[in-house]
Amino acid sequence: MSAANASPQNRDAQYPPIGGIFVVNFDQVLSGAGGGLPAFGVTDRRYGRTDLMAVRSPRYAPARASCITPLMASAVPGVLCPLAAGPALGPDGKAAFYVICQAPPGPSLWDDLNPSLSRAPWSEGDLMARLVKPIAIALDQLVELGVTHRSIRPDNLFSARPGQPVVLGAAWAMPPAYKQTAVFEPPYIGQCHPSLRGNGLIADDVYALGVTVVALATGRLPMAECDQSEIIRRKLERGSFSALVGDERLPASVHDLVRNMVAEDPEHRPPPALLSDIVAARARRVAARPPMKASRALQVAGNQIWDSRSMAWALAQDPVLGIKLLREGHVDAWLRRSLGQTALAMRLDEVVRARASDSSPDPGRADAFMMMHAVAVLDPLAPLHWRGLCLFPDGLGPGLAGLSLPRGDGTEPPGLAKNLETLVQWEAIPQWADERPDRFDGVMLKLDSRQNRMMLRYVGWAGGLPRLRYALNPLLPCASPLLENDCVVRLNELLPAIEAGNSVEPIDREIVAFVAARSSVQLEGEWAVIGRPDDPDIDPPGTRALAVLRVLASLQVIEPGLLVQRLSERLLPSLLPALRNWRRGAEREKRERELREASRTGNLPLMVTVLDDPKARAIDRNDHDMAREQMRRMAVRTELLRGQTALRAERARVTGYEIAQSIGLMALVVGIVAAVLS
Partner 1 sequence: MSKAASTGMQRHLPMIQGIAIGLLVITATPSAILCAALLMPTILAMMADRLHGRPVGRTVLLFGLAGACGPEMTLWRSGRGMEGAIALATDVHTLALSWSFQAGGWLLAQILSLAICFYVETMARIEITTLEKRRAATAAQWPD
Contacts to partner 1 by CB under 8 A: 583-586, 588, 624, 627-628, 630-631, 634-635, 637-638, 641-642, 644-645, 648-649, 651-661, 663-665, 667-668, 670-672, 674-676, 678
Minimum CB distance to partner 1, residue 593 (Å): 16
| All residues at 6 or more sequence positions from 667 whose CB lies less than 8 Å from its CB, including other chains | none
Nearer to partner 1 (CB atom), residue 588 or residue 617: 588
**Segment 540-545 long-range contacts (CB within 8 Å, at least 24 positions apart):** 540/578, 540/580, 540/581, 541/577, 541/578, 541/580, 541/581, 542/574, 542/575, 542/576, 542/577, 542/578, 542/579, 542/580, 542/581, 542/611, 543/578, 545/571, 545/574, 545/575, 545/577, 545/578
Nearer to partner 1 (CB atom), residue 354 or residue 670: 670
Minimum CB distance to partner 1, residue 648 (Å): 5
**Residue 291 DSSP symbol:** P
Nearer to partner 1 (CB atom), residue 444 or residue 660: 660
Minimum CB distance to partner 1, residue 617 (Å): 14
Nearer to partner 1 (CB atom), residue 600 or residue 653: 653
What's the rounded Cα separation, in Å, for the pair 250 and 381?
28
Nearer to partner 1 (CB atom), residue 459 or residue 618: 618
Q: Which residues sit opposite 82 in a β-bridge?
A: 101
Minimum CB distance to partner 1, residue 654 (Å): 7
* Host H or E run for residue 655: helix 645-677
Nearer to partner 1 (CB atom), residue 124 or residue 592: 592
Minimum CB distance to partner 1, residue 591 (Å): 13
Nearer to partner 1 (CB atom), residue 573 or residue 671: 671
Minimum CB distance to partner 1, residue 539 (Å): 14
Minimum CB distance to partner 1, residue 486 (Å): 42
CB burial string 372-403: b at 16+ within 10 A, e below:
bbbbbbbbebbbbbbbbbbbbbbbbbbbbbbb
* Host H or E run for residue 248: none
What angle, rounded to 10 degrees, do the helices at 363-378 and 308-317 form? 150
Nearer to partner 1 (CB atom), residue 44 or residue 587: 587
Q: 375 and 181 in contact (C-beta within 8 Å)?
A: no
Amino acid letter, residue 5:
N
- Cα 388 vs. chain centroid, distance in angstroms? 21
Minimum CB distance to partner 1, residue 586 (Å): 7
Minimum CB distance to partner 1, residue 475 (Å): 51
What's the rounded Cα separation, in Å, for the pair 255 and 463?
53
Minimum CB distance to partner 1, residue 587 (Å): 10
Q: 392 and 368 in contact (C-beta within 8 Å)?
A: no
What angle, rounded to 10 degrees, do the helices at 604-611 and 543-558 form? 140
**Residue 289 DSSP symbol:** P
* Host H or E run for residue 13: helix 8-14
Nearer to partner 1 (CB atom), residue 364 or residue 671: 671
Identify the CA nearest to 255 among candidates 113, 115, 157, 127. 127
HEC secondary structure over 595-632: HHHHHHHCCHHHHHHHHCCHHHHHHHHHHHHHHHHHHH
Amino acid letter, residue 91:
P
Nearer to partner 1 (CB atom), residue 453 or residue 583: 583
Minimum CB distance to partner 1, residue 620 (Å): 10
Minimum CB distance to partner 1, residue 632 (Å): 10
SS3 for 126?
Answer: helix
Nearer to partner 1 (CB atom), residue 320 or residue 665: 665
Nearer to partner 1 (CB atom), residue 565 or residue 638: 638
